[in-house]
């Protein structure tokens, strides 16, 4: 068996084992009964007559259907409960950006530190990966954590986990993405919380000049002229004010409401007219092709930081 190295591993395994054993027991039950019937009701020299034909048995049919329905609903409810745990990250997570590209994984921390094919995280702390792809579909798969999430160009997907075992855990790309797909490997290195703090400090010293995504986003905000139309307060100019809007609901011009999450910001940069805020004219230019993935991440990080 694979190590159970995250808080969700045990849950996934329990459900898997439940389904496995139910299937195995049912299979054996069906085959043994079938063999028993074949032998018991066979036509032979001592009993040359056909067994009477049975046309139906309502009580039996209803109870079998009901029993199977209940079993399937138990599996569904069990899966649903765990699925909700997997998709809803706790509030205070360590956020790390992940960029998948042919054929490597790039990780970027809040302070601007970048690692390739190695993700360093502390044990016992929830980590949230905000993932995107630079080219084609990839899938971030950590078997020891029992977690997998598609990584898609042009949008963000997220994956959260809390590691429970110090050590190295392999990461695979689980979506065929071209020639070197099978070599698109990485490692999650889990450190004790104290070792992680030490690692964070060390790299700060050695990489003093690195600019964090939030700072880069702040620079881009003026370089790209965002500040012409958007204030950093709640006051509207040509476009909405940007203070404290992350994670909040907004009224759109088509009467719908939506939450402003990472994907909303990204779409607003690339296709500004797709979801117009109520009361504002469709005048924002698109930044499709003028911003790199890294710059988009930086602007999104900066907007998130405006609290």
Q: Which is nearer to ligand CUA, 181 or 189 (CB)?
A: 181
- Size of residue set near ligand CUA by CB under 6 A: 9
Rounded least distance, CB 113 to ligand CUA, Å: 23
Preceding peptide of 108 cis, ω within 30°: no
Region near ligand CUA per CB under 6 A, out of 4-12, 169-177, 233-241, 287-295? 169-177
Among 106, 108, 162, 175, binds ligand CUA (CB under 6 A): 175
Q: Which of 195, 150, 154, 213 is nearest to 176 (CA)?
A: 150
Handedness of CA 83, 88, 90, 92 (dihedral sign): positive
Among 99, 127, 142, 177, binds ligand CUA (CB under 6 A): 177
Tokens of 207: 């990489």
Contact 218, 243 (CB under 8 A): no
**How many Å apart are CA 111 and CA 97, to the nearest integer?**
11
181 binds ligand CUA (CB under 6 A): yes
SS3 307: coil
Among 113, 123, 138, 266, binds ligand CUA (CB under 6 A): 138
Region near ligand CUA per CB under 6 A, out of 45-53, 72-80, 82-90, 172-180? 172-180
106 binds ligand CUA (CB under 6 A): no
Region near ligand CUA per CB under 6 A, out of 12-20, 63-71, 168-176, 207-215? 168-176
Whole-angstrom distance between the N-terminal and C-terminal Cα of the chain?
45
| x/- letters, 183..212, toward ligand CUA (CB under 6 A) | -x----------------------------
Contact 148, 10 (CB under 8 A): no
Rounded least distance, CB 269 to ligand CUA, Å: 25
Among 127, 171, 173, 226, binds ligand CUA (CB under 6 A): 173
Rounded least distance, CB 100 to ligand CUA, Å: 6
Q: Which is nearer to ligand CUA, 10 or 116 (CB)?
A: 116
Contact 63, 90 (CB under 8 A): no
Tokens of 244: 């404290």
Task: Give Dmax over CA atoms of the chain in angstroms.
Answer: 99
Phi and psi at residue 218, in whole multiples of 5°?
Answer: -65, -45
Residues that bind ligand CUA (CB under 6 A): 100, 103, 138, 173, 175-177, 181, 184
């Amino acid at each position: 068996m694979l190590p159970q190295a995250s808080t969700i591993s045990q849950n996934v395994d329990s459900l898997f084992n439940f389904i496995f054993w139910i299937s195995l027991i049912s299979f054996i039950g069906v085959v043994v009964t079938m063999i028993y019937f074949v032998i018991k009701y066979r036509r032979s020299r001592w009993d040359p007559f056909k067994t009477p034909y049975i046309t139906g048995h309502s009580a039996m049919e209803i109870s079998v259907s009901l029993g199977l329905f209940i079993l399937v609903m138990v599996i569904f409810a069990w899966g649903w409960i765990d699925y909700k745990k997997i998709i809803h990250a706790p509030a205070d997570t360590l956020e790390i950006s992940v960029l998948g590209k042919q054929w490597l994984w790039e990780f970027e921390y809040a302070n601007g530190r970048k690692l390739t094919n190695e993700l360093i995280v502390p044990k016992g702390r929830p980590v949230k990966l905000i993932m995107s792809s630079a080219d084609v579909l990839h899938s971030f798969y950590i078997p020891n954590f029992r977690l997998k999430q598609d990584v898609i160009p042009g949008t963000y997907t997220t994956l959260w986990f809390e590691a429970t075992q110090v050590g190295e855990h392999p990461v695979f790309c689980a979506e065929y993405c071209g020639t070197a797909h099978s070599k698109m490997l990485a490692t999650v290195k889990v450190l004790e919380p104290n070792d992680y703090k030490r690692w964070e400090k060390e790299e700060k010293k050695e990489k003093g000049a690195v600019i964090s995504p939030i700072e880069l986003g702040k620079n881009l905000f003026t370089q790209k002229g965002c500040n012409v139309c958007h204030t950093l307060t709640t006051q509207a100019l040509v476009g909405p004010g940007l203070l404290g809007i992350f994670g909040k609901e907004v009224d759109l011009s088509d009467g719908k409401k939506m939450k402003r999450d990472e994907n909303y910001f990204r779409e607003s940069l690339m296709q500004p007219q797709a979801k117009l805020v109520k009361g504002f004219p469709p005048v924002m230019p698109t930044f499709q092709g003028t911003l790199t993935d890294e710059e988009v991440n930086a602007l999104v990080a900066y907007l998130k930081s405006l609290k």
